Structure 1
Amino acid sequence: MGDVAVRTAAIIGGGVIGGGWAARFLLNGWDVRVFDPDPEAEAKLAPVLAQARRALPSLTDVALPDEGALSFHSDLAEAVADAGWIQESVPERLDIKHRTLAAVQAACPKDAIIGSSTSGFKPSELQEGAARPGQIMVFHPFNPVYLMPLVEVVPSPATDPAIIARAKATLSALGMFPLHVRKEIDAHIADRFLEAVWREALWLVKDGVATTEEIDEAIRMGFGIRWAQMGLFDTYRTAGGEAGMRHFMAQFGPALQWPWTKLMDVPAFTDELVELIAGQSDAQSGHMSIAQMLTARDDNLVGMMRSLKANDWGAGAVLNTHEAGLRAGTVLGARAEDLEDVSAPILTVRRAVPLDWTDYNGHMNEARYLQAFGDATDRFMALIGCDAGYIATGGSYFTAETHIRHLDEVHAGTVIEVRTQVLAGAGKKLHLFHEMRDGARVLATGEHFLLHVSLETRRPSEPAPEILAALERIAAAHAGLPVPEGAGRAVGQRP
């Protein structure tokens, strides 16, 4: 296979995790083959794909690739033939996994990547009796797989290092964060933390200290938010003040000797305990359907991760890296000198409308039209060389006047494209006309007039010669284009 360009994934097992993997690959442009003996597999996967199509495109400010082809197979050998990535997500029984992996290796390419989604088994256990042990490893994701970036990459000493490197590169290209687990260990890394918290939570409920709702509130109202952006050790480091982790450890380390938790013990799963927890859980969230809870979950995750993205922090930094990869090699990542033909309006924005851009009517709200056109202007500025590096030298374009026409409705998930025409570009002046479309449908237009300004004097100034040259080249090429319909209009002006 050689590289990550082979874009066919076989998903073995179409349950919650397998379905999430299918969505992650499919929405990133991979062809996906699903093998699941359940005759209802296709119907069960449909709502997962619907959730993913609604949520995943909202994470990035560049549209994802066109979806790959999705197919369902009753024959495992047919599903894995010529697949570059094979992800096993069958039930957590070692005998079932051994049979499945043996059948996979009998039919798949010898250099395909084979991963298991297991949360409990070590890769060496999965490799027992395998024809090619070095081809198999663990890729343990987190639900929902199509949104959560973390995937634990767990090799064994027998795993081929070249496969590890290719796997991590592929996962990164899917917008995920591959966490390379240094040593095999039961439950890997993240689930060991979750198990500890789960055990303690069971005792707190059993002993009547807290209800399921109160425990969830303690997490989501407190340390859960901190952990989402800073993790455990950085959180404690900040708790130590300027003296950092050493002070924190000196101050709170002795508490580790206190009998605060019951981590070495777990209450028996009696019928009474199960009913107690289930009853409290029903009282906590039984007023919502699972579909409503999943929608709320995805909306909240998108909002948090987009906020982290704005600060290039944690999971948001992973998104920014993924987005940069989506831009690379396209006009959205090019400089003017990279474009041989600039005679037509230039694509400056191509993105899905995110969930948080809509208002109470379900439409994109008016502020977001301005944001989209502002992003188009920023992209055009970067195209001619007025990027962050140039601005740091003391010059930039400031918007002096804007006019927007709202021509049609736009909803969340719509892939919008903005193309930009230069109406005038010489000296200190830059006059742009943006047209926003959904395919053939014109959604809005935006007209921006800008002046180049010295950031030192805060007054209009001449741009650098290389920027002026790039701008004038495009302006000259656009001079022969028809004046766009709506250019020069004022509010209330009659046709």
Structure 2
Amino acid sequence: MTKTAAIIGGGVIGGGWAARFTLNGWDVKVYDPDPEAERKIGEVMTNARRALPMLVDQPMPEPGSMTLCSTLEEAATGAELIVEAVPERVEIKHKVYAQIEAVNTDGIIASSTSGIMPTDLQSQMAHPGRLIVAHPFNPVYLLPLVELVAGEKTDAQHIEAAKEIYSSLGMYPLHCRVEIEGFLSDRLQEALWREALWLLHDDVATADEIDAAIAYGPGLRWAQMGTMQTFHLAGGEGGMRAMLAMFGPCLKWPWTKLMDVPELTDDFVNKVGGQCETQAGDLGPRDLERIRDDNLIGIIRSLKQNNWGAGAVARAHSNALRPAMDDTKPLLTQNRVVPVDWTDINGHMNEGRYGQIFSDAAEEVMAHVGADEAYIEGGLSYFTVETTVKYIAETHAGERVHVYTTVTQGEGKKLRCFHEMKRASDGELMATCDQFMLHVSLETRRTCDPAPDVKAKVEALAALHASE
């Protein structure tokens, strides 16, 4: 059954929420009085449709509908979840909640606020128990973190329900157990931003130099380990204790101005703004968004390979989207969008990635016959001993491709698959792979018979496919 979310406020965050929900199969109703709202949300949706499917290796759900409503009440009526993404002014939010409560008494109200206390937000509500904070990070359709915060009157069941909702969207719900201004992530981000403003204000460094100091060093570490684990690792065998013993005294040195902030005079605002505009050069907001999205896809997919951090979230989401297979015809073993990191200098998918996609297809066959992760952990698997790949047509990033696999041999230790990769849009054959595998013991690294149930499934598939 399709679920419905209301998005109140269609700016950068609201538009990102609309994309995340819609592309995960929810029907979405959006209200924003901005006459440019439809165009702005449409541009976010265009980016999201291109980017989000590249994170997963399965087809996304059938997209839900998105409706731009003429009134807030129309959007909120009947919604199971109402996302509030309006400007960070408490009086505006209070007015919005009153309008929501007049037409919807059941749905969870989730504020996207970056730091306002949920207790303050729910202070004038008739039914404050269903208000939570669900603070996301831009771009909402790619970054998995969402901070969940309860107010003094929030019913705990709504936090638990929210965890399930956001997990189903491929997100990482972080329950901030203590209600505090700015929550967790923004307090950490603002500390760095405050110091960066002082460095620029005092002409220690330019905006470009400050960003380079993060992007080429600690930022890469932070993409897969947070501050605490990074410094724990930096302490070597002594861990964080050794790190604190070595560098703890530095914390008392005058290295920071975190307790103060430069005065935001017109001249200073123009200075910061001008340097950031120089950084961007000829790149407009949409250009920078696409570059950002491509970079994030590459980083998250690299983490996905090791089932780590944000990559583990994307991997779990991809696995949850895995469809059932029909044994009576060639198996649909891949239904995916070609990610940007699979292309070479010529702009098309490189040879190694054809091996990757056919290897992934074979792993789907293995999982289907029972030679899954648990089977492999038990010490048995299939090894590829021979492949023949034919490249027939170019494959480009962003294209959806299907791989259909026929089991052409399944007897004893032998498993042979013939894979056909086709462009989803028109069915054109793009590549084929004849792959021969043998069953092995991971303990001896030599061939052996499969487990009886796996052997029976392989033989049954080969017989079914031979009759086609």
Asked if Structure 1 and Structure 2 have the same fold, meaning a TM-score greater than 0.5 normalized by the shorter chain, the answer is: yes
- Partner residue of 1:127? 122
- Partner residue of 1:469? 456
Alignment of 1:20-59 (within 5 A): 20-59=16-55
Query: What CA deviation, in whole Å up to 9, does each residue of 1:387-430 have, x standing for no partner?
Result: 33333444432223222333444332333222221112111222
Is 1:479 equivalent to 2:455 in the alignment?
no
CA distance in 2, matches of 1:455, 1:196: 50
Please point out which of 223, 238, 241 is paired with 2:236.
241
Aligned residues of 1:175 and 1:318 also touching (Cα < 8 A): yes
Structure 1 window deviating more from structure 2 (368-377 vs 282-291): it is 282-291
Please point out which of 360, 363, 376 is paired with 1:391.
376
Q: 1:240 to 1:423 in 2, by over 3 A?
A: same
Please point out which of 306, 311, 331 is paired with 2:324.
331
Aligned residues of 1:63 and 1:415 also touching (Cα < 8 A): no
- Partner residue of 2:432? 445
Please point out which of 381, 384, 397 is paired with 2:366.
381
Percent identity for Structure 1 against Structure 2 = 55
What's the CA shift for 1:452? 2.4
CA distance in 1, matches of 2:143, 2:374: 32
Is 1:287 equivalent to 2:277 in the alignment?
no
Q: Name the amino acid aligned to 1:239.
A: A
Q: Name the amino acid aligned to 1:388.
A: E
Q: How many residues align?
A: 466
Q: Name the amino acid aligned to 2:388.
A: H
Please point out which of 195, 201, 210 is paired with 2:205.
210
Q: Name the amino acid aligned to 1:321.
A: A
Alignment of 1:262-281 (within 5 A): 262-281=257-276
Q: 1:459 to 1:297 in 2, by over 3 A?
A: same
Query: What CA deviation, in whole Å up to 9, does each residue of 1:360-389 have, x standing for no partner?
Result: 444333332222111111111222222333
Q: 1:93 to 1:454 in 2, by over 3 A?
A: closer
SS in 2 for 1:56: helix
Alignment of 1:317-466 (within 5 A): 317-327=312-322, 330-331=323-324, 342-437=327-422, 438=424, 441-443=427-429, 444-466=431-453
What's the CA shift for 1:158? 0.6
What's the CA shift for 1:230? 0.9
Q: Name the amino acid aligned to 1:264.
A: M
What's the CA shift for 1:291? 1.9
CA distance in 2, matches of 1:231, 1:162: 29
Query: What CA deviation, in whole Å up to 9, does each residue of 1:203-243 have, x standing for no partner?
Result: 11111111111110111111111112110111111122212
- Partner residue of 1:167? 162
- Partner residue of 1:486? none
Aligned residues of 2:132 and 2:158 also touching (Cα < 8 A): no
CA distance in 2, matches of 1:303, 1:186: 33
- Partner residue of 1:337? none
SS in 2 for 1:219: helix
- Partner residue of 2:9? 13
- Partner residue of 1:493? none
Aligned residues of 2:410 and 2:458 also touching (Cα < 8 A): yes
Q: 1:176 to 1:456 in 2, by over 3 A?
A: closer
Please point out which of 101, 109, 113 is paired with 2:108.
113
What's the CA shift for 1:94? 1.2
Is 1:296 equivalent to 2:291 in the alignment?
yes
Aligned residues of 1:407 and 1:442 also touching (Cα < 8 A): no
Gaps of 5+ in 1: 333-340, 482-495
What's the CA shift for 1:440? 5.1
SS in 2 for 1:405: strand
TM-score by length of 1: 0.90
Structure 1 window deviating more from structure 2 (443-452 vs 357-366): it is 357-366
Aligned residues of 2:408 and 2:462 also touching (Cα < 8 A): yes
What's the CA shift for 1:445? 2.4
Structure 1 window deviating more from structure 2 (134-143 vs 353-362): it is 353-362
- Partner residue of 1:89? 85
Structure 1 window deviating more from structure 2 (162-171 vs 177-186): it is 177-186
Structure 1 window deviating more from structure 2 (139-148 vs 406-415): it is 406-415
What's the CA shift for 1:342? 2.3
SS in 1 for 2:428: strand
Is 1:190 equivalent to 2:190 in the alignment?
no
Aligned residues of 1:6 and 1:84 also touching (Cα < 8 A): no
Query: What CA deviation, in whole Å up to 9, does each residue of 1:269-300 have, x standing for no partner?
Result: 11221222222223322232222211111111
Gaps of 5+ in 2: none
Aligned residues of 1:357 and 1:368 also touching (Cα < 8 A): yes
What's the CA shift for 1:459? 4.2
Is 1:148 equivalent to 2:143 in the alignment?
yes
Query: What CA deviation, in whole Å up to 9, does each residue of 1:413-471 have, x standing for no partner?
Result: 33322222111211122221122231551333222122223445544433232221111
Q: Name the amino acid aligned to 1:310.
A: Q
SS in 2 for 1:288: coil
Aligned residues of 2:72 and 2:100 also touching (Cα < 8 A): yes
Aligned residues of 1:156 and 1:183 also touching (Cα < 8 A): no
Structure 1 window deviating more from structure 2 (407-416 vs 248-257): it is 407-416
Q: Name the amino acid aligned to 1:96.
A: I
Q: Name the amino acid aligned to 1:106.
A: A
Structure 1 window deviating more from structure 2 (365-374 vs 266-275): it is 365-374
Query: C-alpha root-mean-square deviation of aligned residues, in Å?
Result: 1.8
Q: Name the amino acid aligned to 1:99.
A: K
SS in 2 for 1:419: strand
- Partner residue of 1:492? none
CA distance in 2, matches of 1:431, 1:189: 52
CA distance in 2, matches of 1:227, 1:376: 32
Please point out which of 51, 65, 69 is paired with 2:65.
69
Aligned residues of 1:55 and 1:355 also touching (Cα < 8 A): no
Aligned residues of 1:199 and 1:263 also touching (Cα < 8 A): yes
What's the CA shift for 1:102? 0.8
Structure 1 window deviating more from structure 2 (455-464 vs 230-239): it is 455-464
